[in-house]
Chain A
């Protein structure tokens, strides 16, 4: 699903440039549930943004769903994002003047689906994250956990192949963290590839594979022991 080879990324800072990713090799197969850990500034978000086509890499190859990502223009990137990727951010990134339902329906708008169908599908996904009753509330009327669940519903609504989450629980307390993680696990169980950045060992423990990043290189990449076998 995601194949990264010798990936480099630097940010220009004034005259100098800051080398953030220094040759990343990573292969994530369809249906995996991967977490990335590492100290602050190690390049986790940078990696995720490149994977999410929100940013471009400098060197190396990146294949998304078998397609080489290179010199992508914004339009193609937008279409690929809309088709393959769903995003969950630490700060939720909901549009403040749109209701929960409208926020969830937004990706479908850019997919060109008509309003009636859009709202119907969006409501199904809100229901799935347990927020059907909150459909017509604005984001500022929701708790952090609720907002993140709306964001997850939005990420899922286009049935993406990969869900990318940058510290989805970073702004949440432990109970809401658990409910968000349960949701991500459910999604993964349905076959979706999930890629999560986190700081918290307990969160990483709940994924199936942990990749550790340090100073722009992968220092370890191992599968977690399967949690309680059910």
Chain B
């Protein structure tokens, strides 16, 4: 019988700046895994498959799964699946776990999202290898500059102001104040936040480099659902989509066209008819704050150009009827693969009634999105629903 896949356990570690991190990668991952297993009420000996995320070039050794997997205390016959899609690796982990469980291949899958950004001495140098070499990399585009094209075009097309972007970034830092696993909070000085990096992106709209790990226990609902002792989060849609490699393939930087296609697929899978009213809580991957507006629109949560108004009306704030990025989002905490899985992890805890940040009372359905890669080449979407067992 086909079974639903549910997230039964979530394990976060505190996020810090890399220089304050005292734990090795293995120790940090083990801590996240221990917390996730305990949360799920699951014994590590019962894990069938461990899926470990990785980004090529971000470690001093290639394929971190080789060193992390043996450090987790799992039985020697556990299947180890490294996943490396570069950006958005983390978003793929729970989606792949769901695929294995729905197919009947596994009953309990452990997803490990390591701290991926704290290894390189010069992270920017490594991220630059992500820029399309030969054709675009020699043209002075690092990650943040590639990211700036989207809000620049969006702003021009819809008349969105710098002040709208700054209001959004401030909203997210205030949300992070309530998330013990966040890195940047409203303690960030206004002067620092206002510094222009690459128009229209200012420093306060750009994610930090963080160190931290996140693990999830994803299992077959009939097997793990009753063991957790708390509600679990059923994965009702797990989708991904990809775009072209060169930046010039985007054609129109003012929208995330492929996200609109992915959203339609996800809503069909999860039987969501009206996303604006049917989601209680949303986490959208926003290493650059303005992306939150653009993603809300691509996900059909409001008309194109309409997201800033929802923020100004308080709809997307805590207490509004469609809170977005209550965790503070990636803008406030970005530990690489752990950052990419964090939207799913935060939505899952919200639906369990055990939010890491401020809880949306009675939250039943949520949307988690992740993206990354060159000019946001890859995206994932996960729709989650609360199940009381």
- Tell me if chain B binds chain A: no
